Structure 1
Amino acid sequence: MSFIKLFVTLGTVLGCSSMAMAASGGDTGIQLDLTMHWVGYVGILTFVIAYAFVMLEEKTHMRKSKPALLAAGVIWGLIGLIYAIKGVDHTAEVAIRHNILEFAELFLFLLVAMTFINSMEERKVFEVLRVKLVNAGYSFRKLFWVTGALSFVISPVADNLTTALLMCAVVMAIGKEDKKFVGLACINIVVAANAGGAFSPFGDITTLMVWQKGIIQFQEFLVLFVPALVNWLVPAAIMHFAVPKAQPDSNVGNIQLKRGAFVIMGLFLWTIATAVSFHNFLGLPPMVGMMAGLALLQIFGYYLHKTHKKNKATFSSEKDAERIGDLVPFDVFTKVARAEWDTLLFFYGIILCVGGLGFMGYLAMVSKFMYLDLGPTTANILVGILSAIVDNIPVMFAVLTMMPEMSHGQWLLVTLTAGVGGSMLSIGSAAGVALMGAARGKYTFLGHLKWTPVIALGYIASIYAHFLVNGSLM
Structure 2
Amino acid sequence: MEAMIVMTIFVISYVFLLLDKINRALIAATGAALMVLFGVFSWDEALSSYVDWSTIALLFSMMVMISITQRTGVFEFIALWMIKRVSGKPVALFFWIGTLTAVGSALLDNVTTVLLLVPVLLHMIKQLNLKAFPYLVSVIISSNVGGTATMIGDPPNIMIGQAVPYFDFLDFLLHLGPVVVVIHITSMALLYLMFKSALTSYNRMEEGFIENLNPSDSLKKTPLLYQSLIILLLTIIAFTLHGFLHVELTTIAIISALLMLLISENDESSEIVFQKVEWTTLFFFVGLFVLVGGLEKAGIIDRVAYTFIDWTEGDSFTSSLVILWSAGILSGFVDNIPYVASMIPVIEEFQSFGVKPIDPLWWALALGACLGGNGSLLGASANVVVAGIASTQGEKIHFIKFMFYGLVIVLISLVISTIYITLRYFV
Scaled by the length of structure 1, what TM-score is found?
A: 0.66
Deviation digits for residues 65-89 of structure 1 (CA, Å, limit 9, x no counterpart)? 41343144236x3457xxxxxxxxx
Partner of 2:303: 365
1:150 aligned to 2:88? no
Contact 1:96 1:352 in 2 (8 A): yes
1:260 is paired with a residue whose SS is: helix
Root mean square deviation, CA, Å: 4.1
CA gap 1:293/1:439 in 2 versus in 1, 3 angstroms: closer
Cα drift, residue 195 of structure 1: 0.9
CA gap 1:348/1:444 in 2 versus in 1, 3 angstroms: closer
Contact 1:201 1:211 in 2 (8 A): yes
CA gap 1:466/1:146 in 2 versus in 1, 3 angstroms: farther
1:389 is paired with a residue whose SS is: coil
Cα drift, residue 267 of structure 1: 2.5
CA gap 1:394/1:53 in 2 versus in 1, 3 angstroms: farther
CA gap 1:467/1:110 in 2 versus in 1, 3 angstroms: farther
Name which structure has the greater RCO, CA cutoff 8 Å, separation 6+: 1
Alignment of 1:287-306 (within 5 A): 287=248, 290-291=250-251, 294-295=254-255, 298-299=258-259, 301-303=261-263, 305=265
Deviation digits for residues 187-240 of structure 1 (CA, Å, limit 9, x no counterpart)? 433321221122345544444544566675444432322222222211323444
Contact 1:152 1:196 in 2 (8 A): yes
1:384 aligned to 2:365? no
Deviation digits for residues 375-405 of structure 1 (CA, Å, limit 9, x no counterpart)? 3421322211222334434434443576653
Q: Which runs of 5+ in 1 are unaligned?
A: 1-37, 81-91, 280-285, 309-327
State the alpha-carbon separation in 2 of the partners of residues 245 and 41 from structure 1: 49
Q: Give the letter aligned to residue 349 of structure 2.
A: E
Cα drift, residue 50 of structure 1: 3.0
Deviation digits for residues 82-101 of structure 1 (CA, Å, limit 9, x no counterpart)? xxxxxxxxxx99x869725x
The alignment-based identity, stated in percent, is: 18
Cα drift, residue 347 of structure 1: 3.9
State the alpha-carbon separation in 2 of the partners of residues 188 and 292 from structure 1: 28
State the alpha-carbon separation in 2 of the partners of residues 342 and 106 from structure 1: 15
1:388 is paired with a residue whose SS is: coil
1:135 is paired with a residue whose SS is: helix
Q: Which runs of 5+ in 2 are unaligned?
A: 313-318, 351-357
Moved more, 203-212 or 120-129: 203-212
Scaled by the length of structure 2, what TM-score is found?
A: 0.72
Partner of 1:176: 129
Alignment of 1:112-127 (within 5 A): 112-127=61-76
Cα drift, residue 342 of structure 1: 4.0
1:61 aligned to 2:3? no
Q: Give the letter aligned to residue 266 of structure 1.
A: L
2:242 is paired with a residue whose SS is: helix
Moved more, 398-407 or 136-145: 398-407
Deviation digits for residues 418-471 of structure 1 (CA, Å, limit 9, x no counterpart)? 2222324566555556458467589884477268546632442244335555x3
Cα drift, residue 150 of structure 1: 1.2
Within the candidate set 398, 412, 424, 1:457 is matched to: 412
2:149 is paired with a residue whose SS is: coil
Contact 2:149 2:180 in 1 (8 A): yes
Contact 1:387 1:421 in 2 (8 A): yes
1:162 aligned to 2:115? yes
Partner of 2:315: none
Contact 1:206 1:415 in 2 (8 A): yes
State the alpha-carbon separation in 1 of the partners of residues 398 and 28 from structure 2: 24
State the alpha-carbon separation in 2 of the partners of residues 73 and 159 from structure 1: 32
- Aligned residue pairs: how many? 388
State the alpha-carbon separation in 1 of the partners of residues 398 and 162 from structure 2: 34
Larger radius of gyration: 1
Partner of 1:236: 188
Cα drift, residue 414 of structure 1: 1.7
Within the candidate set 219, 227, 239, 1:272 is matched to: 239
1:46 aligned to 2:9? yes
2:219 is paired with a residue whose SS is: coil
CA gap 1:131/1:148 in 2 versus in 1, 3 angstroms: same
